[in-house]
């Protein structure tokens, strides 16, 4: 575990809001202002910027950016930052991925923050037909982020990965081995990232079971904590040196996911 440093840490958060306009009605604005975050990445925004109330699309003292899908009301990511990013890239340079508005890669000095909404493998008939697309997306993004690492960036990739990595990461692993989100090939793809040096920040600080980030919206499921941990912040080795803590805010309501995040030494930017 990284040593604690004396400087006040910077908080970087991620949340799949399952529709920003719906989440706004459940207190998103108050949560954002009280989050103490320097950077916040949102997934599944499901709205064009002009459909979002101005107080949320352009809140005071925040720099904001949104990437939307061509299909209306679908997917989409958004980034809020107290400091202006040096640049934000939203393309993986492959139309079938870029049309779904799933990626923002923001540079803040030497830090690169990838805010990502990874695809679900379920097709229209819940038939796992999108699993090949999902795995191709993983691999395409992996190649892009590996180039950033080789270029000297300290990289954090955060968001809804739509995959529970290991049995500890979901309440009912045996019952879901044939379900997208816990298929062997999906777990193997997360293994490939870990084998390449990416670090699951939360598990560096808390190895406990029953730590989840998503719950079915069926009645009583969240109260019973029958969930999945499918939201992550992965760190490159160069970034992990600055990570001081990792969090899951399971008590925060407003979406079927809860926010997650890390606290990092401010020197990560330098």
Catalytic positions, written as ranges: 160
Give the 3-state secondary structure of residue 8.
coil
* CA–CA dist 215, 218 (Å, integer): 8
Question: How many Cβ atoms are within 10 Å of 201's Cβ, its own excluded?
Answer: 25
Which of 68, 108, 67 shows the shortest CA–CA distance to 85?
108
Q: Which residues pair with 41 in a beta bridge?
A: 14, 79
What span, in angstroms and rounded, lies between the C-alpha atoms of 96 and 264?
Answer: 34
Nearest to 118 by CA among 106, 101, 93, 94: 101
How does DSSP classify residue 109? T
């Amino acid at each position: 575990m990284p040593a604690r440093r004396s400087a006040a840490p910077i908080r970087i958060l991620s949340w799949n809001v399952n529709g920003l306009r719906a989440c706004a009605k459940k207190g998103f604005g108050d949560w954002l202002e009280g989050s103490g975050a320097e950077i916040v990445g949102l997934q599944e925004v499901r709205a064009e910027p002009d459909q979002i109330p101005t107080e949320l699309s352009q809140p005071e003292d925040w720099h904001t950016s949104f990437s939307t899908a061509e299909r209306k009301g679908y997917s989409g990511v958004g980034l809020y930052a107290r400091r202006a990013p040096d640049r934000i890239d939203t393309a993986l340079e492959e139309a079938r991925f870029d049309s779904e508005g799933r990626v923002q890669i923001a540079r803040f000095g030497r830090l690169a923050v990838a805010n990502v909404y990874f695809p679900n493998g379920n097709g229209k008939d819940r038939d796992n037909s999108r699993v090949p697309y999902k795995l191709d997306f993983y691999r395409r993004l992996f190649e892009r982020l590996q180039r950033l690492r080789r270029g000297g960036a300290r990289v954090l990739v955060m968001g809804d990965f739509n995959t529970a990595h290991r049995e500890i990461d979901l309440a009912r692993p045996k019952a879901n081995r044939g379900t997208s989100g816990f298929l062997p090939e999906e777990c193997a793809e997360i293994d490939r990232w870990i084998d390449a040096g990416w670090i699951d920040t939360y598990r560096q600080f808390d190895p406990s079971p029953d730590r989840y980030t998503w719950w079915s919206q069926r009645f009583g499921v969240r109260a019973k904590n029958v969930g999945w941990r499918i939201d992550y912040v992965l760190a490159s080795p160069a970034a992990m040196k600055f990570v001081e803590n990792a969090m899951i805010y399971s008590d925060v309501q407003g979406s079927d996911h809860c926010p997650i995040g890390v606290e990092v030494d401010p020197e990560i930017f330098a």
